[in-house]
Amino acid sequence: MSAPKAIISDFGGVLTSPLLESFAAVQDQTGIPFDEVGRAMAAIAERNGGVNPLFQLEKGEMSEVDFLDLISDELEGKLGHRPEMHRFSEVYFEALQPNEPMIDLMHELRDSGLRMAMLTNNVREWEPRWRSMLPVDEIFELVVDSAFVGMRKPEPGIYELTLERLAGPSAGECLFIDDIAINCEAAEELGIRTVHYRDPEQAIGEIREAVSGAGSD
């Protein structure tokens, strides 16, 4: 298989420490078990025609404040008190660390002449926080952020938009990296090659193999 011409990388969990560590920090500091938050989101979704509020948040259809209020309202009935959710992003980002070996690799791939894009499901209000964690614009010529384009992974449209904005490499000439399997599967459906990130060593090995042109799926 020929070497890819472009890299499309996820942000959270790929260029950062594992997100579970950040969710654990929020759980420790707020005292709210995270499966309780998951159940609250599912209950809200059920009343709202199956629309998950997290997806609305990530698509920029709901503000962070409104999202946290909604979750607090839902949890209040179950927990018997109104949980303090306003420090969520502060605690979450305090626990989130840059994944230096992966960021170094991204620099190296850019320097080797590959086109570089980031495709992230994110929260509009979090942009200054996540951008401060790495030199985004030095590495990536393109950032497609769900909260600003009204679509989120794994919707095909957001991958198509990324390819359109890269304006050049075909789907088969792109290598997509993400820590969530369904996001990789959706990319593969469109003919984009993928590396499913599990840990730095595994992912860096697979990415190096792919960019050398030796990779085969």
CA dihedral 36, 185, 142, 204 (to 10 degrees): 90
Q: Which residue's CB is nearer to Mg ion, number 12 or number 83?
A: 12
Question: Which region among 20-28, 63-71, 138-146, 176-184 touches Mg ion (by CB under 5 A)?
Answer: 176-184
Point out the residue whose Cβ comes nearest to Mg ion. 13
What is the closest distance, in whole angstroms, from the C-beta atom of residue 19 to Mg ion in the complex? Answer: 7
Amino acid letter, 12:
G
Q: Least distance (Å) from Mg ion to the CB of residue 116? A: 17
Does 18 sit near Mg ion (CB under 5 A)? no
What one-letter code names the amino acid at 90? E
Burial of 21 (0-12, 13-18, 19+ CB in 10 A): middle
Sheet of 115-120: strands edge to edge? 142-145, 115-120, 6-9, 174-178, 193-196
Nearest approach in angstroms of CB 183 to Mg ion is: 7
- Smallest gap from residue 77 Cβ to Mg ion (A): 31
Distance CA(93)–CA(123), nearest Å, equals 12
Among 11-19, 77-85, 100-108, 137-145, which window interacts with Mg ion (CB under 5 A)? 11-19
Q: Distances from the Cα of 193 to the Cαs of 8, 117, 178, in angstroms?
A: 10, 14, 11
Which DSSP letter does residue 126 get? G
Q: Which of 37, 179, 192, 195 binds Mg ion (CB under 5 A)?
A: 179
Q: Is residue 154 reached through a cis peptide bond, with omega within 30 degrees of 0 on the bond before it? A: yes
Nearer to Mg ion by Cβ, of 12 and 215: the residue is 12
Q: How many residues bind Mg ion (CB under 5 A)?
A: 4
- Nearer of residues 75 and 143 to Mg ion, judged by Cβ: 143
Min. distance of Cβ 12 from Mg ion in angstroms?
4
10 makes contact with Mg ion (CB under 5 A): yes
Work out the number of other CB atoms within 10 angstroms of the CB of residue 114: 19
12 binds Mg ion (CB under 5 A): yes
Shortest separation between residue 164's beta carbon and Mg ion, angstroms? 22
Positions in the binding site for Mg ion (CB under 5 A): 10, 12-13, 179
